[in-house]
Amino acid sequence: MNATWCSQPDKKLFEHTVLPTLHILVFIVGLIANGWGLNSLRRNWKKLGNVNIFVLNLGLADILYLLTLPFLIVYHMKGNKWIFGEGFCLVTRFCFNLNLYCSIGFLTCISVYRYLSIVHPMRAKGRLTATHSVVISVVVWILVGAQSFPDMFYDKTFRNGSKCFATTSYEHLESYLDYTITWTFFGFCIPFVIIVGCYGHVTVVVCRSNTIDKNMKQQLLKLLVILIVLFSLCYTPYHVFKNLSMYSRVLINQGTCPEWDSGIFNARQASRGLVSLNSALNPLVYLHVNEDMGYHFRHVFRCCFKLKSRSVSEPKTEQEAENMIC
């Protein structure tokens, strides 16, 4: 059934203004932050620990998605007119799904490793090797790839390929809704429960312990806050409103116009912008997982702050000029 008889929400504000603006911001900040993080890992490759391997893969997943953003920016700025071909539309959407669920997967791996090393240190000692981390990372890529691959078989273009749907066209809505609910359960809900369970237990152990260093406690609690922000801001709203929006479209396709469709559409569009922020926010995890990276970042930040504060006056002597260099 043609669903155009239902009142259509205003798409111009989000799709033509907000989304491209957010994508430009995420592209610039995410590329710089992830590039810096990956370069820091490269320079400290010999010190690469088992958890840092997950951080490396997290950065690679972000870079993969960020490289597709310029095409989406052009798409939205042209009034949702896709000019790069149907095949590349599928690749772009696949890269988004790969980034999203690999990010969740590697954040889950980091959480489990943290849990084992803090709550069960004697059992985990000598067993959490770099080889195990590499094997687990490969498994995460394979599982997420297998989970995301069926999405490429759903029609994502129409009108001679002028559109590039994030989901699918009206003809395949019901089967796609079943697919995305299953996808949400295994790709988001289960990892979310694991992360909450791990860090909930870790928080209790850390707060009760008298042997754990105060700085380590602060680092772990900050990482917990970052993960809560990532899931609360980026991942949870996206999955909730994506499924509600799909359900609304199914009802419309069946001849019913839900009164809440317009509100869900706006929330869905906002969540699409928020979920893209994960590629810019994930580098915050680097700072609280890799101690060397966190120290280097804080050192650079302090140096930049000192240079800015001293730039108001020119150095009067050679010694002063040397002191301004970090």
Say if 322 falls within a structural domain.
no
Q: pLDDT value at position 225?
A: 81
Say if 304 falls within a structural domain.
no
Tell me the CATH number at 70: 1.20.1070.10
Say if 96 falls within a structural domain.
yes
Q: pLDDT value at position 288?
A: 67
pLDDT tens digits in sequence order for the chain, 326 residues long: 444 557 676 677 777 888 899 999 999 999 998 888 888 777 766 665 678 889 889 999 999 999 999 999 999 888 888 999 888 999 999 999 999 999 999 999 988 988 888 888 887 777 778 888 899 999 999 999 999 999 999 988 766 667 888 888 888 889 999 999 999 999 999 999 999 899 888 888 888 877 777 777 777 777 778 888 888 889 999 999 999 999 998 998 888 888 888 888 889 988 988 898 888 888 877 766 655 555 554 554 455 455 555 554 444 444 444 444 44
Q: pLDDT value at position 150?
A: 93
Q: pLDDT value at position 2?
A: 47
Say if 223 falls within a structural domain.
yes
Q: What is the distance between the alpha carbons of residues 139 and 143, in angstroms, rounded to a whole number?
A: 6
Say if 276 falls within a structural domain.
yes
Say if 192 falls within a structural domain.
yes
Q: pLDDT value at position 310?
A: 55
Domain boundaries, position 194: 9-289
Q: pLDDT value at position 292?
A: 53
Q: pLDDT value at position 75?
A: 92
Q: For the chain, what is the domain count?
A: 1
Say if 104 falls within a structural domain.
yes
Say if 145 falls within a structural domain.
yes
